[in-house]
Structures are given as structure tokens and as C-alpha cells.
Amino acid sequence: MDTNARPATRRHLTGDRNQCPTCGAFFNSTYAFDAHRTGPFGGAQGEPSRRRCLTVDEMRAKGMTLNQAGFWMTARRGLGPKPIASCGQDCEIQADTGA
């Protein structure tokens, strides 16, 4: 997909799903949308923004995937271990032995 060409597809967006107004790609969440934008913001001393949309290859290299509905996601849910919250220096992490 050429990131400069907007797809002709129209979808009913619900919840946190959204469509990029620049490239036209659809995203499963605002987080995924934000992950597909790169580059510095403009505005300082009137400079134009140099932010852009990632290409499909760049999104895939970041681990993003398309779900069955055609929305980009940052990671498939339910895969891999849950992130462990930071608990400070005195924290011990023990492996779950299933016992």
C-alpha cells in the first residue's frame, strides 16, 4: 500500500478504532495509530512537521499485524507472557511451576 494513497474503503468505526487521515489505514486502537507515525513534530520557529506514516514493511518490522477485520494492531492479544509491573529493588520474581 502506498502510504500517500488513501484506500477507497469506508468502514463504520466503533470504540477506539480509527482511520489515519493521512494514509487512510485503519487501526484497532489509538495506541496502534500513534505507533504508525514517526518523525519529529513541526511547529518550532514555524518549521513544517516532518512526521509521516510508516510503510507497511516498517509497521510489520515493528511487530504490527493486521487483524481479520483489516485493522492494524500493535500486537496480537493473548500471546506471550503478561508484562510484570515494576516492584522495586526488593522484588523477587519466581517462576510459576504449575504446582
Render the burial of 65-80: b for 16+ CB within 10 Å, e for the rest: eeeeeebbbbeeeeee
Q: Is pLDDT larger for residue 76 or for residue 25?
A: 25
What are the sequence ranges of the domains in the chain?
18-73
pLDDT, position 17: 93
State pLDDT tens for residues 40-97: 877 677 777 788 999 999 999 999 999 999 999 997 555 544 444 444 444 444 444 4
